Amino acid sequence: MKKHIVLLPGDGIGPEVARAAKRVLEAIAEQHQHTFTFETHNIGGSAIDQDGTPLPEDTIEACHKADAVFLGAVGGPKWDDLPGHMRPEKGLLGIRKQLGLFANLRPVKAFQQLLHASPLKTEVVTGSDLLIVRELTGGLYFGEPSERRNNGAEVVDTLAYSRHEIERIVEQAFQSARLRRNHLTSVDKANVLESSRMWREIVEEKKQEYPEVTVEHMLVDAAAMKLVTNPSYFDVIVTENMFGDILSDEASVLTGSLGMLPSASIRKDGLGLYEPVHGSAPDIAGQNKANPLASILSVAMMLKHSFKMEEEAEQVEKAVQDVLAARYHTADLNINGGIPVSGSELANKVIEQLSTSDTTE
Ligand code: NAD
Ligand code: IPM
Ligand code: MN
């Protein structure tokens, strides 16, 4: 199969993890006789430096034409003092919006091999396997007005949703729940926010169409607590943009590291932007310390969601598991008796594992 992939490495550890993602895609292509072509574009801080804007036109155009997009990470201290509309993060928000990627799927699974790597008790983490369906192109991140007023004496951000925006993300969540364990938790702040009250109404309406799915509503503060006290309670969580952002970093603790969490930002027709959940990690950038597994697992999501290559996706996931079982890890993962390696070495191990795995099984 032929596929064209746009790579947006971005800033900090972004280029390091994007390199790992590309190498895994190349290994899969070679093994399965696919033709994957690549095109690299600027986004974020590196785009500000080279093109004077966090989201250059040619980047947007290339993404529109691609079969899938991979993004490393954007941002860093160098650009932190720029005005809001010129920050690297605006590039990421812009490309999600431009491509209409309203659903961000963030699976959180505690790998057997990493149960002890979590600071939480092993008995708490065991069995955790959940999916956060985060609304990605609306809510508090995009509502207007968002501005400083009266010479900085006042400031406003707006949490706004149309009924349509809530309906489509809720539908996505029901569909995801149906493919998993049929349990949906809609997370909101309906005791305070009007937008959450409408969100609840829509979940109640939609559930009539999915009678096999058990649905409940949970307030976001309580959900944050339950995520670390009884994570295996959850199957699919659907929530507003910023709630989903915060809960997913929290949930990464179950896996042992933020460097383990992949994500897919998708729309209805199959185009997706695949991005690790973590950021540009300026504290470790350029030191070959970044854990590439979040990116490699994001590649598995690309193979599955955008290319419908189930077997290849499973092969990548299995290779990650095997490498962890062999106790290789980067410094972010605290594994007793493990074998610490650099980011690129860990990617090598996954690629070696791919080439030894039998695809004819
Ligand atoms: P971060 O996710 O970059 O880092 C948080 C902590 O996790 C750091 O200690 C970092 O070293 C560690 N970490 C993250 N990814 C890792 C990996 N793959 N391997 C090993 N350790 C890893 O969050 P932050 O420090 O709050 O933000 C830094 C910059 O990244 C900010 O500019 C922020 O806006 C940006 N950011 C970008 C994205 C994105 O592009 N998707 C996501 C989050 C944050
Ligand atoms: C993420 C990041 C982004 C977000 C930032 C960098 C805009 O934190 O992808 O989780 O909040 O969506
Ligand atoms: Mn985040």
269 is in an annotated binding site: no
Q: What is the pLDDT of residue 336?
A: 85
Cβ atoms of residues 172 and 210 within 8 Å: no
> CA 106, CA 27: separation in Å to the nearest integer?
25
Q: Is the CB of 136 under 6 A from ligand 2?
A: no
Q: Ligand 2 centroid to 331 CA: how many Å?
A: 23
Half-sphere exposure (CA, 13 Å, Cβ side) for 78?
17
H or E element: which one contains 215? strand 214-219
Cβ atoms of residues 280 and 76 within 8 Å: yes
User: Is 249 buried (19+), middle (13-18) or exposed (0-12) by CB count in 10 A?
Assistant: middle
Q: Is the CB of 56 under 6 A from ligand 1?
A: no
Q: Ligand 1 centroid to 260 CA: how many Å?
A: 12
Atom of ligand 1 nearest to the CA of 249: 2
Give me the CATH topology for the region 119-254. Isopropylmalate Dehydrogenase (3.40.718)
Model pTM greater than 0.90?
A: yes
Could you tell me the sign of the dihedral formed by the alpha carbons of 298, 304, 307, 311, in that order?
Answer: positive
Query: Along the 361 residues of the chain, how does pLDDT read in single tens digits?
Result: 999 999 999 999 999 999 999 999 999 999 999 999 999 999 999 999 999 999 999 999 999 999 999 999 999 999 999 999 999 999 999 999 999 999 999 999 999 999 999 999 999 999 999 999 999 999 999 999 999 999 999 999 999 999 999 999 999 999 999 999 999 999 999 999 999 999 999 999 999 999 999 999 999 999 999 999 999 999 999 999 999 999 999 999 999 999 999 999 999 998 999 999 999 999 999 999 999 999 999 999 999 999 999 999 999 999 999 999 999 999 999 888 999 999 999 999 999 999 887 554 4
ipTM confidence: 0.99
Atom of ligand 1 nearest to the CA of 282: 28
Query: Which of 245, 265, 280 for mutating ligand 2's site (highest number of atoms within 8 Å of CB)?
Result: 245
Cβ atoms of residues 120 and 253 within 8 Å: yes
Joined together, the tokens standing for residue 356 give: 């030894």
* Nearest ligand to the C-alpha atom of residue 89: 2
Q: What is the pLDDT of residue 359?
A: 53
CATH of domain 1-111+256-361: 3.40.718.10
Q: Which sequence spans correspond to the domains of the chain?
A: 1-111+256-361, 119-254
Q: Ligand 3 centroid to 73 CA: how many Å?
A: 10
Q: Is the CB of 89 under 6 A from ligand 2?
A: yes
Q: What is the pLDDT of residue 335?
A: 87
Backbone angles phi, psi at 67, to 5 degrees: -85, -25
| Residue of minimum CA distance from atom 6 in ligand 2 | 89
| Residue of minimum CA distance from atom 40 in ligand 1 | 73
Q: Ligand 3 centroid to 32 CA: how many Å?
A: 34
Joined together, the tokens standing for residue 82 give: 């720029």
* Nearest ligand to the C-alpha atom of residue 294: 1
127 is in an annotated binding site: no
Domains 1-111+256-361 and 119-254 belong to one CATH topology: yes
